[in-house]
Structure 1
Amino acid sequence: MKKTTYLISLLMFISFFNTCGQIGNHEHKEVESMNLNSIKNNIVKQAFEAWQQGDSKLWFSFFTNDAQLYDDGKLRDFNNFSTNAIGEEWFTSLDKVENEGLSIYRKIHTKKWGDFKTYFKFYINDKEKIYRLEIGQADY
């Protein structure tokens, strides 16, 4: 009886382990392995690095207190979005940079939605703070 219970428990654990995406065997491309030289705007580059590192305190330091976020053209709560996304989402590639480094196109991995292409467009004021961020799914 004990062998049967042990075997069932072991099979359940293995099944759970495989269903949950092989915990511990997840590849995550770190920002250090990406070539960031194409990002000419230093503020955007540092914000990108903060996002990749999951450092929300550093991320927020690059933005105005009333920063606006537009997600596929719809106004969203910037603070709520950032708090929920940082550490749960990361970029797996840097594919295209435009507008002197203010518009970045890349692939993203999210724990909730999987992998897809996205854009981040940054708007910086004269005090070198980001006051608007536009994000969305990209088709490039």
Structure 2
Amino acid sequence: MKKYSLATAFAISFSFIACAQNTGKEKQNPRTLKISNKKQETMDLSKITDTSVKQAIEALQTGDKSWYDFFTANPVMTDDGNTVNFKSFFSNALGKEMFLTIDRVENDGKDIYGNFKTGQWGTFPVFFKFHKNPEGKFDRLDIGQTH
């Protein structure tokens, strides 16, 4: 009788393990799941004529870490004229902050103006001014609130 009880307990234990296994159907990128649960908003990026700026803004909008690939290793960054650490700033902002509208584009597509949503400070009009080095990477980004 003890053999039967141990065998039954052993079989039940394996069935619980099997129930918790990943079948492959659940394998989705967690970020994709997060984005698909948010209200999807489309924004017209066609006003942005500089291809690198456009791709960088697309990465910013989706919180994609490829955002960093558009910049040099240590780009200069200012926020309302104050120098800030680029990587530190975007480690907190990427995936949480984004443009809601692109209202105006200047300087051959490198200066972007629009309404921007921040997690902490609300929504307000801003500018992003991208500066390219000769290799085509951004070595400076100036952002700030427009008046």
- When normalised by structure 1's length, the TM-score is 0.75
Q: Which residue of 2 aligns with 1:3?
A: none
Give how far 1:28 is off. 5.3
Structure 2 Cα separation of the partners of residues 123 and 28 of structure 1? 32
Corresponding residue for residue 72 of structure 1: 80
Shift of 1:43: 0.5
Q: What secondary structure does 1:46 align onto?
A: helix
- d(CA) in 2 for partners of 1:96, 1:44: 14
Flag structure 1 segments of 5+ consecutive residues without an equivalent: 1-26
Aligned to 2:110: 102
* 1:115-134 matched pairs, under 5 angstroms: 115-134=123-142
Residue 34 in structure 1 maps to residue 34 in structure 2: no
- 1:18 is matched with which residue? none
SS state at 1:128 partner: coil
Q: What is the root-mean-square deviation in Å for CA atoms of aligned residues? A: 1.6
Aligned residues: 111
Is the Cα–Cα contact under 8 Å of residues 118 and 138 in structure 1 kept in the other structure? yes
Identity of aligned residues (%): 44
For 1:50-70, what per-residue CA distance to the aligned partner results, in whole angstroms no more than 9, with x for missing partners? 0001012x0000000010101
**TM-score normalised according to structure 2 size:** 0.71
Tell me the distance in 2 between the aligned counterparts of 1:95 and 1:29: 20
